[in-house]
């Protein structure tokens, strides 16, 4: 069994806590170092973190002293990053330059030419971009990112359809949970009994990140997919789970909607044979009952790693319409990173 000493950057935040929760019994990765801001450094994790997970804070983690996010202070094999994006650029680079791989949730390097933007089941081949990175001349340190928490359920739901028919354009509305805004996030008086019709910066990411994820690797570079995506992102009074309402125009016309349903049901997960510890048995589940999926009831399917797809139907205007649900801090953030790291281990990218 491989065992890696792992650091978590941004360990006190919403995503950082989810890393600690999800890694508590991980067979390969053991959290041994925690990084956060000057505000938290020097405190034990118990004192520094306002723990919002529903399981107890793991005792061995509670006793660790939080440090600043400095590679010289964290003696680890690699780090997961749930850093505030306002500070992630220099910090993540400093780890990669020091020979410590960074598996990041932050947006800062997602569009960097040599950095994979990866959802393990969608574009595992993009890991190859790591070979063209030059952060660390010794080739040990690198950066791999995962996308925004809406893009993950979107591309997982679209992937079978893109493979079978091609997709020409997409219009979607994302109804996003409050945990997506981090902790303490949106003031309760703004969101209780309300919907906020705008989330700053979100629609731009949803318009761009899927194009890299669904792009093809050609001569060592990603050739972006060409799919115009128009998104409207709203914040809804739900704790966890982003629900998307998606309409798509397809390049090749399907026979009928049953055929499309079978394409989704029969899609073959390209990394299924690796049996990765965090990998769901079924990354996308299509619900036939039009009442599902719902954030409160289906977000935690397959430990929060399964994307639920529902209401798949013919569209009056384009070709198909459907809903997609993803747990935003698990599948949409920490769980996606952990699965990416498991894939990188399986492909031999880590040097322990
Ligand atoms: P958050 O709850 O606000 O946590 C931010 C973390 O960054 C905290 O640990 C904070 O430490 C740390 N930090 C802030 N300033 C720092 C500094 N100068 N140096 C070092 N650490 C610093 O945010 P979050 O929701 O967990 O999001 C973290 C990242 O993941 C963001 O880039 C976000 O865009 C991305 N993301 C979030 C979600 C989601 O659903 N929440 C989904 C996908 C991606 P202190 O406690 O010490 O201030």
* Residue extents of the structural domains in the chain: 4-148+334-346, 151-328
Please give the pLDDT value at position 273.
97
Mutate to test the pocket of ligand 1, among 8, 13, 20 (most ligand atoms within 8 A of CB): 13
What are 245-258's pLDDT values in tens digits?
999 999 999 999 99
Mean pLDDT of 154-162: 98
Q: What angle do CA 68, 39, 95 make, to 5 degrees?
A: 20
Residues 6+ apart with CB under 8 A from 102: 9, 78, 79, 81, 92, 95, 96, 141, 142, 143, 144
The rounded radius of gyration (Å) of the Cα atoms in the chain is: 20
d(CA 155, CA 228) in angstroms, rounded, equals 14
pLDDT digits (tens, 9 = 90+) for 192-239: 999 999 999 999 999 999 999 999 999 999 999 999 999 999 999 999
Predicted local confidence at residue 191, as pLDDT? 98
Whether 149 is a known active-site residue: answer yes
Distance, first Cα to last Cα, the chain = 12
Tell me, what's the pLDDT at 288?
97
Peptide bond into 184 cis (omega under 30): yes
Report the alpha-carbon distance of residue 10 to residue 211 in Å, rounded: 28
Residue having the nearest C-alpha atom to atom 18 of ligand 1: 37
CB 147 within 8 A of CB 202: no
Q: Which residues line ligand 1 (CB under 6 A)?
A: 10-16, 36-37, 39-40, 69, 82-85, 87, 105-107, 149, 179-180, 182-183, 328-329, 332-333
Query: Which pLDDT value is given to residue 351?
Result: 81
Q: What is the pLDDT of residue 2?
A: 65
Quick: pLDDT tens for 133-152: 999 999 899 999 999 999 99
- What's the CATH superfamily of 151-328? Dihydrodipicolinate Reductase; domain 2 (3.30.360.10)
pTM of the predicted model over 0.75: yes
CATH topology of domain 4-148+334-346: Rossmann fold (3.40.50)
CA 39 – CA 49 distance, rounded (Å):
11
- Interatomic CA distance for residues 64 and 246, integer angstroms: 44
* Contacts for 291 with CB less than 8 Å, ≥ 6 apart: none
Q: Using an 8 Å Cβ cutoff, are 325 and 294 in contact?
A: yes
Q: What is the pLDDT of residue 276?
A: 98
Confirm whether 126 is a catalytic residue.
no
Closest residue by Cα to atom 29, ligand 1, is 82
E strand or H helix that includes residue 157: helix 151-165
pLDDT at 103 over 80: yes
């Amino acid at each position: 069994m491989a065992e890696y000493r792992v650091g978590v950057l941004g360990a006190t935040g919403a995503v950082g806590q989810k890393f600690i929760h999800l890694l508590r019994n991980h067979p390969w990765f053991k959290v041994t170092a925690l990084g956060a801001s000057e505000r938290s450094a020097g405190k034990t994790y118990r004192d520094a973190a306002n723990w919002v997970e529903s399981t107890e804070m793991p005792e061995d983690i509670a006793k660790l002293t939080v440090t600043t996010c400095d590679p010289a202070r964290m003696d680890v094999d690699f780090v997961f990053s749930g850093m505030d994006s306002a500070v992630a650029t220099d910090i993540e680079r400093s780890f990669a330059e020091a020979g410590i791989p960074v598996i990041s949730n932050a947006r800062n390097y997602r569009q960097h030419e040599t950095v994979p933007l990866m959802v393990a089941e969608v574009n595992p081949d993009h890991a190859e971009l790591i070979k063209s990175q030059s952060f660390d001349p010794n080739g040990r340190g690198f950066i791999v990112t995962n996308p925004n928490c809406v893009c993950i359920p979107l591309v997982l739901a679209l992937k079978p359809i893109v493979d079978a028919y091609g997709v020409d354009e997409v219009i979607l509305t994302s109804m996003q949970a409050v945990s997506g805004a981090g902790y303490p996030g949106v003031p309760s008086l703004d969101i209780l009994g309300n919907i906020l019709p705008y989330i700053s910066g979100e629609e731009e990411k949803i318009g761009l990140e899927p194009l890299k994820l669904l792009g093809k690797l050609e001569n060592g570079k990603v050739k972006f997919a060409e799919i115009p995506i128009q998104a409207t992102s709203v914040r809804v009074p739900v704790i966890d789970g982003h629900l998307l309402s998606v309409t798509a125009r397809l390049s090749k016309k399907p026979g009928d909607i049953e055929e499309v349903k079978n394409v989704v049901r029969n899609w073959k997960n390209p990394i299924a044979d690796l049996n990765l510890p965090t990998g769901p048995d079924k990354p996308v589940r299509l619900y036939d009952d039009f009442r599902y999926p719902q954030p409160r009831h289906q977000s935690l399917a397959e430990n929060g790693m399964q994307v639920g797809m529902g209401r798949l139907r013919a569209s009056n205007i384009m070709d198909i319409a459907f809903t997609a649900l993803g747990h935003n801090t698990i599948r949409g953030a920490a769980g996606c990173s952990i699965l990416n790291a498991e894939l990188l281990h399986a492909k031999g990218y880590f040097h322990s």
